[in-house]
Chain A
């Protein structure tokens, strides 16, 4: 199968154009995860400048806007994102050095108290997890041109060892309720401001929050955190970024059990998650819904992507967001093909 361009042509308009203070919600289910789409957002924002064959002068996008990204991830580690981005031809470690990208780690030490020592005993769990998504093969995308795979790999490994403490700001959940959220919010905003310090006028800051629903599920009512508090937390972060992309799980039990309460009492996590996810969809300008094919698995289709206008879509003339439904296929090499129904 031929290699695919890093940005599927059908999605380019959706990925690259984010109006100011807009929220994009990506909903995924177990069989159709959102990683690939988040990576495409990363590439759309950072892609042109990371490619080594273009000169420094063309750092900027066509419209002269430079973009920076802060990625807050609650379900996946730095190692995962670094390796996956590399398959697209994005060197996140290098971008982090250039102050164009920052990673905030909400996974590895979220509920561990930060130990003053090297943190060896507490880190075992995450150490196991980080090895999983490592690919044995660096998988450079053909046509990306030279950085030789060896140097890229070596750089990456070095970067991991030396820079990880600096690059990956780790979030800690300490305390109770809103106060704990406030601490995390402050950490993330500090990271955003650190990026902003080197921003010129007109530059855009894209904030990507990967699966904050994990935080809601892990804390819940006993910690004094519900859908409203989570939504307020997101709002607080949104205020500091140009645009925000949020990924959430939208599996049927998490969404629908709460509404069909006539039959059985839904559990708190079902109620809270549904309220959070649907509330976010009400705020979002666009909602990207990922799901599997209703007709079952297919060899050449990984899933369905439905792009809809959310409740926050203003309907103004300059903000035309076309709603459509597309199929996508993730190839073995990580490339993604996006096509309409009936096309191939």
Chain B
């Protein structure tokens, strides 16, 4: 087994719900991330999938310490980010960068491409002022943009080009880990393919570790080495990408995989589909026991009692379901 670069141990991120204007009363808690254990290996692409509201974006932000953690530890290269001082955290972020979903919102409209890409270089003092322009040009070439666009503003670019700028910004400090939160969901199919290819190339070339978040399973299967499936703040299944998506084990993963329409008219009309009833439950008041039990076809009384932990299922797979042995 290759060595790990990032370890999450029982990570919890809860948000308080308060009511009242002057006197704030605490009336509940949104358990966005609720006990995630995950080890990310050096150089791998880890896909993180789940429906909206399952906590995948909050998990990404928790890894980068953009939201305060409620419990558990995030350890990057042996350094516990949760207990690091601001100064240490700043240093850690050289190794840990993020690409956001919406390239229209994540770039400052008043900063030129040059200013956007130069900022991390100057903040972290990684290159001398006179070399900045050369480094920015290099970064732009790396993501497939012509350096002559350096003085342009984000609005002069298309969505795909903006996402390239956002990727270049994340790469500026030569990080070891990049967290990409739905980097292609806002893009059209033909542009999506360009960005996926770019990310795949860069990961190989720069020996990056990539945490790739998406709700589109076919995209995740394409790019990832391993996939983690989240449901209501917890990981329910983890394994090699092709295994998880072609032979899902957890009842939720099965339903999720079967819900994806496939672009093949022959199989699409005949295949058996598992249509889940209802919506994902609210993370404010999650069901007791296994959070999936109200929608699960295999649920029994024991599923309502305790939340199942991730258990090994074969050498490369982990599944959180107490009835795993009984499943067909």
Do A and B make up one complex?
Answer: no
Residues of B near any A CB (own CB < 8 A): none
Residues of A near any B CB (own CB < 8 A): none
